[in-house]
Structure 1
């Protein structure tokens, strides 16, 4: 682009000077070639001295265009060549017996040259017209013998169309040159403005801390910023391999397994795949970085993909902070779980022989200790992503047991738990983890439902998937609360003002377990009317070798 700008921002004079001899040669060569062709077709006038001088002058002018270093001169000395072309045409006309109009057509070449000149355009126009008039009226002015001079005015008017035609030609050429100059100036201005905006865009891109890569529809790089080039440098191997080659230091997140080439963001962009927050690890230890990559597509007016913008954010510190927080919660939860287990064990022993006066208090201790143990277990589950152990499971029985065990929490509020489950539903899953999902969702439905209401658990097979829905008649959620429902430790402001217990971990844990099984979870809710939480699981799923229990 810089070379184009440098060329287009030259003035016409600078451009002519930069081209030098080549420009002069291109202006003179057609005229000389036409003169030589005329001499070959009509060799008879070559015996006349004036005709010989005209041909020789055309040849000398062409040689001068080649030999003279016109680019070294700051003055438009090359304009002398088209003026001398008029002299050559006059000599040819004096030595030949051609019609004035026919031979006068040779003046087209110097007229066009002078009319398109960037220096002294008005004087060049006048010179071209005067030169043409001289050629047209030369036989009359010099009183050639082959011209009838009985009526000189008649002879002069007879050859007048030639100067008029050349005048029209010169005006047309000048107008075209002026229009081209105006468009050239406009183009140079637009290119300069584009260059300015491009430099501003590059400065902005290099300022942000996010790696930005623009690719075309085939996934080839168009533009990248400094941060993206740094990430690409990290991905290079010691041997300096390009990040577009199979050798690379790009790994699946959380592992040392190289990221397959077809999963690279640029390749996924070429396929038009939607990508949002794809995590991967780049570089060699100890300087590895964790990147979160998203892709947004550039589409034409017809809706086709013209390219994509790939944004990669360095989330290493965030991942490290989350790991540190999870480790802290896991350690604290583990330390709390041990004494709670001791408290529950001793409480059960005391309850066996406790007198009636003490039993009520011991049962209160046991209930609260169990509740606290459940909270600690939720903390552990949210802190660590436990590997699942899928086995063939009868989900219908699993739902029945979960609903039955939730009865002791529903009965005090007069809530009825009704199940509408397709018989003998089976799928490959981790029964303990799916039971945990059911327990969390049914527990939430009971907690947020009013007294004497109904909670319905429905499950059925739909298109090789298990679809389970838990419907309640509780307080419901608004749009903002639904947007935050799967965020860990989130509890809406209105719930925090109530006596409803919880830590905001049930839904996030359920979501993580369902997604580990290759399913998805969502809900529909209307304030003051109730909520429907549904999750979908594939009925048949490959069991990863690393997920099987030893």
Structure 2
């Protein structure tokens, strides 16, 4: 991207005659010049002056006078060859002296110190000098009237319309005044010249003024476009510098690719990360692994390949190895590092896929901390389960023995709470290990759901919730009945708990091809988008549930997810704040 800006600056430098576009525009703004004799100049005039090499006011007047002076010099040379007697005429020599004096004045006079537009005297006097030269030369030199084009055009191209009027007036005087001063008798030719020459020069003056005005406006438009381009380029450079500063500061690796997966931009964090050097799909030995740390990622599933294909994903977990790929395939070695990878696609101005931005955030320490936490929870849970099992065992013995009738109710309360605590401990163990032991057998899933709904009716009635069962019986599948009953119990219990104002909970089950689909829908408080994303996270509880003191440990959905996925199925959640939640369980028949 930086090279693109450099190329743009080089191109603008070439178009600006060796100067950068921004430098040229800034010079134009910083150095306003004055017209000869004073007065401000426009940016267009500055551009025109640049063509003359920056000669200043005096130089500009000289350059504009130079074509006429050179032409007069050529006329003198031609007269010396073909009409030498004309050069002997004192009147003709005086006229040539006037041309010479006007050229000397254009060079010698400090026009910048005089009042504005004083320089118009030079082309006006040129017209008179041309008229005297033509009259002094006689009929052979009548063609010199064409030299009026030089001063007429000079006066007319000025942005002030008074220049056109002055050009026509000077033309008229160039035909009348010399004849009167030199005493030339009027002839038919001179009368025709007196009438038609000013008309022709007036037409030339108007045409030159209109063309010049059009060119001025076009130049002003180009200058404004140049200034806008310079501002845009400066802003782009500033944004590029800001982007470079941000990308070089963040610790997250950033990789930008086009729609073909080719590199556009990488930041320093990505370039200096040894583990990420093996991410290119062309690597001979892939060093990128799935979340299990043992399965190599195929080239088509590399983050860059997925992003280049237009796929968007968030927090995809990859493991990368700094060392030899063969040693890391077994998932061993401390050189493996975990990365949370996120990709977002980019679109061109016409809406087509133009590439993607991929970020790599190292989460190795977080993954290891979570693993240590799960191990700790599993260890503590195991340590808690042993005394709880013993407590429940002895409680059963005590309840079976006679003589404790007076405290039997209290003992049953202890037994119920100990059983509940043991269930929580078992859930913690299952969640921490992320797997459960399953005893698969043929069972009626519809019957399991019906029994859970029947057991929960008392709870639902006490909460003012209408519990509705809608199932197709039987729905046989190979499942662990106890675990599936636990899943349905968690979901129905959640639906009732999160409907504190009453409402309806509908439990459905039906067959779809080779799967049994069960759903629990409530009309309770619901969840927003961010809460839905965290719903299956361990120990997560929504803000509303905390505010309303709804009991729970945040383990129901995570343990249900673990059980369902252990059966090879899937569980999903759809919710809307204030309109309820629907949890769907998809279980394979076999």
Q: Shared fold by TM > 0.5?
A: yes
- The answer to whether structure 1 residue 279 and structure 2 residue 317 are counterparts is yes
Alignment check: 8 A CA contact 1:329 1:379 kept: yes
Q: Unaligned 5+ residue runs, structure 1?
A: 17-112, 542-550
Q: For each residue in 1:457-501, what CA deviation from the matched residue of structure 2 results, as whole angstroms up to 9, or x when unmatched?
A: 21123576543222457x645659965654433446776688965
- The answer to whether structure 1 residue 223 and structure 2 residue 265 are counterparts is yes
> SS of the counterpart of 1:258?
coil
Q: For each residue in 1:215-243, what CA deviation from the matched residue of structure 2 results, as whole angstroms up to 9, or x when unmatched?
A: 22323222222222234x32335xxx956
Alignment counterpart, residue 235 of structure 1, candidates 276, 279, 283: 276
- Distance in 2 (CA, whole Å) between partners of 1:458 and 1:272 is 37
Q: Offset at 1:341?
A: 1.4
Q: Which residue of 2 aligns with 1:380?
A: 429
Alignment check: 8 A CA contact 1:399 1:438 kept: yes
Alignment counterpart, residue 151 of structure 1, candidates 139, 142, 145: 139
> SS of the counterpart of 1:197?
helix
Q: Which residue of 2 aligns with 1:395?
A: 445
Q: Offset at 1:329?
A: 0.8
Alignment counterpart, residue 533 of structure 1, candidates 582, 586, 589: 582
Q: Any residues of structure 2 matched to 1:14-25 within 5 Å, and which?
A: none
Q: Which residue of 2 aligns with 1:547?
A: none
- Distance in 2 (CA, whole Å) between partners of 1:218 and 1:184 is 34
- Distance in 2 (CA, whole Å) between partners of 1:331 and 1:290 is 25
Alignment check: 8 A CA contact 2:307 2:343 kept: yes
- The answer to whether structure 1 residue 468 and structure 2 residue 550 are counterparts is no
- Distance in 2 (CA, whole Å) between partners of 1:318 and 1:388 is 27
Q: TM-score, normalised by structure 2?
A: 0.61
313-322 vs 513-522, which moves further: 513-522
Q: Which residue of 1 aligns with 2:572?
A: 521
Alignment counterpart, residue 5 of structure 1, candidates 9, 17, 39: 9
- Distance in 2 (CA, whole Å) between partners of 1:460 and 1:341 is 38
Q: Offset at 1:432?
A: 5.2
Q: Give the direction of change, closer, same or farther, for the CA distance of 1:492–1:4 in structure 2 (3 Å limit).
A: closer
339-348 vs 152-161, which moves further: 152-161
Tell which structure's C-alpha radius of gyration is larger.
Answer: 2
Alignment check: 8 A CA contact 1:426 1:539 kept: no
> SS of the counterpart of 1:236?
helix
Q: Offset at 1:515?
A: 5.6
- Distance in 1 (CA, whole Å) between partners of 2:338 and 2:77 is 92
Alignment check: 8 A CA contact 1:236 1:243 kept: no
> SS of the counterpart of 2:272?
helix
Q: Any residues of structure 2 matched to 1:278-357 within 5 Å, and which?
A: 278-284=316-322, 285-355=333-403, 356-357=405-406
Q: Which residue of 2 aligns with 1:203?
A: 245
Q: Give the direction of change, closer, same or farther, for the CA distance of 1:471–1:139 in structure 2 (3 Å limit).
A: closer
Q: Any residues of structure 2 matched to 1:131-280 within 5 Å, and which?
A: 131=67, 134-135=70-71, 138-139=74-75, 142-143=78-79, 150-158=138-146, 161=149, 187-188=229-230, 190-231=232-273, 233-236=274-277, 244-280=282-318
332-341 vs 508-517, which moves further: 508-517
Q: Which residue of 2 aligns with 1:130?
A: 66
Q: Offset at 1:417?
A: 5.7
- Distance in 1 (CA, whole Å) between partners of 2:224 and 2:454 is 86
Q: Which residue of 2 aligns with 1:39?
A: none
Alignment check: 8 A CA contact 2:252 2:270 kept: yes
Aligned residues: 438
Q: Which residue of 2 aligns with 1:120?
A: 55
Q: Which residue of 1 aligns with 2:105?
A: none
> SS of the counterpart of 1:321?
helix
Q: Unaligned 5+ residue runs, structure 2?
A: 21-47, 87-136, 158-207, 323-332
334-343 vs 385-394, which moves further: 385-394
Alignment check: 8 A CA contact 1:236 1:248 kept: no
Q: Give the direction of change, closer, same or farther, for the CA distance of 1:450–1:364 in structure 2 (3 Å limit).
A: same
Q: Which residue of 2 aligns with 1:43?
A: none
Q: Offset at 1:305?
A: 2.6
Alignment check: 8 A CA contact 2:531 2:542 kept: no
Q: For each residue in 1:136-175, what CA deviation from the matched residue of structure 2 results, as whole angstroms up to 9, or x when unmatched?
A: 7624553165689642552212465588789979979996
Q: Give the direction of change, closer, same or farther, for the CA distance of 1:196–1:449 in structure 2 (3 Å limit).
A: closer
148-157 vs 216-225, which moves further: 148-157
> SS of the counterpart of 1:276?
strand
Q: Give the direction of change, closer, same or farther, for the CA distance of 1:400–1:144 in structure 2 (3 Å limit).
A: same
> SS of the counterpart of 1:212?
strand
Q: Any residues of structure 2 matched to 1:491-510 within 5 Å, and which?
A: 491=541, 501-510=551-560
Q: Give the direction of change, closer, same or farther, for the CA distance of 1:336–1:292 in structure 2 (3 Å limit).
A: same
Q: Give the direction of change, closer, same or farther, for the CA distance of 1:540–1:207 in structure 2 (3 Å limit).
A: farther
- Distance in 1 (CA, whole Å) between partners of 2:555 and 2:384 is 17
- Distance in 2 (CA, whole Å) between partners of 1:500 and 1:143 is 116
Q: Offset at 1:396?
A: 2.1
Q: Offset at 1:352?
A: 2.5
